Amino acid sequence: MENNEASVPDCMKHRFPEIPLKNPNPAIRLYGLRFYKDQTPVEYLAELLLVFASPKEEDGREAYSFKLLKTSDNFPRYWPKNRITLKLFAFFPSSILETRHPTHQKVYKEILKTLQDSVKEGHTESRREETIRLLQSLFNGFVGVAKNRTWVTHVFLPVANELLANEVVWSPQGEEISDDWKNLRSHFKSDRHNFMARGGEVLFLQLANLFHKPDAPELLGMLNDASYKHINISCTSDLESRLQQHFRKMLEEAVSPLANLTKFIENSLIDYEIDLSPKHSNLGWVPAASRIEALLFAHEADNICSANISALEKLDLLQLLCSMQVLRSLCFQACRLDDAEADTPGFIGNYVWIVADPEAVANAPIRQMAQTSFNRIEALLYRVLRHKALANCVKSENNPFKEADKNGFEIFRKNAKEIGLVIPRKGPGQRFVLTPELLRFLVAALIPPGYRMRLDKFYQRVFAHYGLALGGQALSSAFDWNNGKADDKSYTVPSHTTWIEEALRQGGFLVELSDAVSIVHNPG
């Protein structure tokens, strides 16, 4: 159902790619297809890298790229691996007993025997069993998400291409289950998106949208703003090739021995492979306007991937970056539609996250403002889904915004708490805070490796990318947005940033040249 073109706000008029918009869910119409509250930080990154590394055509073209290939029905696609046999081998013995089907148990015993028989001749039976147990422990150690799920819905940490897999769920549907493994194909479903819920696809599409039109007028206008001079317009066109090289190198070199071990397991178990139909996955779409936050996302990912740190450290930072990008994307798009919020000089997003010291006492002014800031963001995300431009999309009569909130409003609080940006996890007084882990991330994402900048410039850059108000003019602007009063600024701005400086100092990121000048350094 399409709205009348004249009544559609600018931020919702154009999508990338331009595919039919039929879903009446207000959150999907606003944010794209789709963010979902139950997707975990690991799964955002795993899904992003899965789409990136997978071919975008059945013949294998455009793997390891942000290019989309047009199809006859205009739905862009990718061809991912399902890794069912590898997951059965790695995760079945550690999965919850209630989720293990007898047929799976039977096949699991068969594949162990097959793998033991595949070990080179000359080894004793006990040595072969020990070798397979060691392999099993190795792959099980790369579990990213398990929880109470069936073994096939466990997710590997995305440390290598060979561990990237699309979501497959076991869905017996109450039917009598055959004890023939090959006849179980209809019970494995790859189109549910329950856990790999498309959030990573959205992040991929944001980058594809950016690289599809890197000279878009809104990007050029943004980069002419003094707050974004550090993003060199002449280098923007190079970001695509750099990120493609970074991501591919990371997936191929992080744990390179896994490639041969995975091939050994999957080649040995080739008779147990299950080809699901269809083999491809359809991608959704994102608002074309999201290329602005996508440029910030790409710039930060480039900084992280350029650092001289281990691939596992990079993956840890990229996982945090994906979660921060989800939060940022929700706020950016909400502010585009909502006209109740004031402008924020120094930040194109027009919202503010005021953070406090996690240890700040209850009556500290900055803690109270961090709490007010969080409440205002939640009110914005709740209110925008009920905007008049979306109201006529709702069809359900009973609690019509329940599903919309799962794809928008409820995501922010859950994800922000998972990464430590909002505390406490339960109870009153929820507020934005800045942990040492988040501060380390901001240094890695916003300062190129080996570079340094004045502390006040660092505060400005953090504000320009995330609307995070740490100190200086950014904090003053944030108080205006947060309905602060002039008297608040007189004592709060200078007296409540020492905790950030101390955290930077303890992390080894602060170089004090004098009493008046401090430098933030990213050693890379």
Instruction: Give the CA count within 13 Å in the CB-facing half-sphere of 197.
Output: 17
What percent of the chain lies above the pLDDT cut of 90? 73
Encode pLDDT of 343-382 as tens digits: 899 999 999 999 999 999 999 988 999 999 999 999 999 9
| Res. 463 pLDDT band, cuts 50 70 90 | very high
Lowest mean pLDDT among 113-127, 215-229, 284-298: 113-127
Q: How would you classify the pairing of strands 353-354 and 286-287?
A: unpaired
Encode pLDDT of 469-481 as tens digits: 998 888 888 888 8
Encode pLDDT of 2-13 as tens digits: 445 557 888 998
Task: State the residue for tokens 């040595």.
Answer: 127
pLDDT at 496: 65
Q: Give CA–CA dist 234/514, Å, rounded.
A: 35
pLDDT at position 120 over 60: yes
- Three-state secondary structure along 126-178? HHHHHHHHHHHHHHHCCEEECCCCCHHHCEECCCCHHHCCCCCEECCCCCCCC
| Res. 422 pLDDT band, cuts 50 70 90 | very high
Q: Give CA–CA dist 455/474, Å, rounded.
A: 12
pLDDT at 479: 83
pLDDT at position 333 over 60: yes
pLDDT at 492: 45
Task: State the residue for tokens 């399902």.
Answer: 82
Encode pLDDT of 231-281 as tens digits: 986 677 789 999 999 999 999 988 888 999 999 999 999 999 999 988 999
Give the mean pLDDT of 188-195.
93
Virtual torsion, Cα 335, 338, 342, 348, nearest 10 deg: 20
| Res. 175 pLDDT band, cuts 50 70 90 | low
The one-letter amino acid code at 57 reads E
pLDDT at 123: 74
Report which DSSP code applies to 356. B
Q: How would you classify the pairing of strands 353-354 and 468-469?
A: parallel
State the average pLDDT for the chain.
90
pLDDT at position 151 over 80: yes
| Res. 62 pLDDT band, cuts 50 70 90 | very high
